Amino acid sequence: MYGHIEKLAHEIQKGAASVEGVEAKLWQVPEILSEEVLKKMSAPPKSDVPVITPNELGEADGYIFGFPTLVHHGMIFVPIGYIFGDGMSEMGELKGGSPYGAGTFSGDGSRQPSKLELEQAFHQGKYIATDAITSLLSIVALNLSTYLSHINSYLLSS
């Protein structure tokens, strides 16, 4: 509500875009609360991040969703685990984030994401983008291998 998730999303986007061959786009979902409710909540204006349409969902090879709470929606969930290094176990400051992914504490909105929380968001974007590229290359290699195997079997049987 206070723009915290969006700040993390921009860092995740930067991390994903840092991987060669990855184009990282940032979208938001349509607002479901009425203007009246948003006004009562003292919600800031929506950002200029484009709103995604159902047709655009098919453009992506993978997604990283930002939610105020943990949700899976029945999808394959790829957490970052404990690979963020020392930042994962940092105990000297209040920080959001976990092995499930980047996070922050917003409270009343006055606290902004810390440098460490933003670093974890960048790391998550880079990790997921690298994993997605590796997975896609593996799928392509597997499909090519299967295809070549079928051709080889056909040629041997002819």
3-state helix, strand, coil in the chain (%, to 5): 45, 5, 50
Domain at 141, CATH number: 3.40.50.360
pLDDT at 48 over 80: yes
Burial class (CB in 10 A: 0-12, 13-18, 19+), 155: exposed
Q: Kindly tell me if the per-residue pLDDT of 70 is higher than 90.
A: no
Cβ neighbours of residue 83 closer than 8 Å, sequence gap 6 or more = 123, 127
- Average pLDDT for 8-36: 89
- Please give the pLDDT value at position 15: 92
CA distance 82 to 97: 11
Task: Tally the domains of the chain.
Answer: 1
Question: Cβ contacts of residue 51 below 8 Å, gap of 6+?
Answer: 27, 28, 29, 30
Taking a C-beta distance cutoff of 8 angstroms, is the pair 109, 123 a contact?
no
Cα separation, 16 vs 20, whole angstroms: 9
Q: Bigger pLDDT: 65 or 143? A: 65
Q: Is 90 exceeded by the pLDDT of residue 144?
A: no
Residue 148 has what pLDDT? Answer: 58
CA 99 to chain centre: 14
* pTM higher than the cut 0.75: no
pLDDT of residue 92: 87
pLDDT digits 0-9 by tens, 101-142: 888 888 778 888 999 999 999 998 898 888 766 665 555 556
Q: In which domain, by residue range, is 69 found?
A: 4-157
Residue 156's SS3 state is helix
Question: In the prediction, which pLDDT does 158 show?
Answer: 57
Q: Percent of the chain at pLDDT above 90?
A: 15
pLDDT of residue 104: 87
pLDDT at 116: 92
pLDDT at residue 105, as a whole number: 84
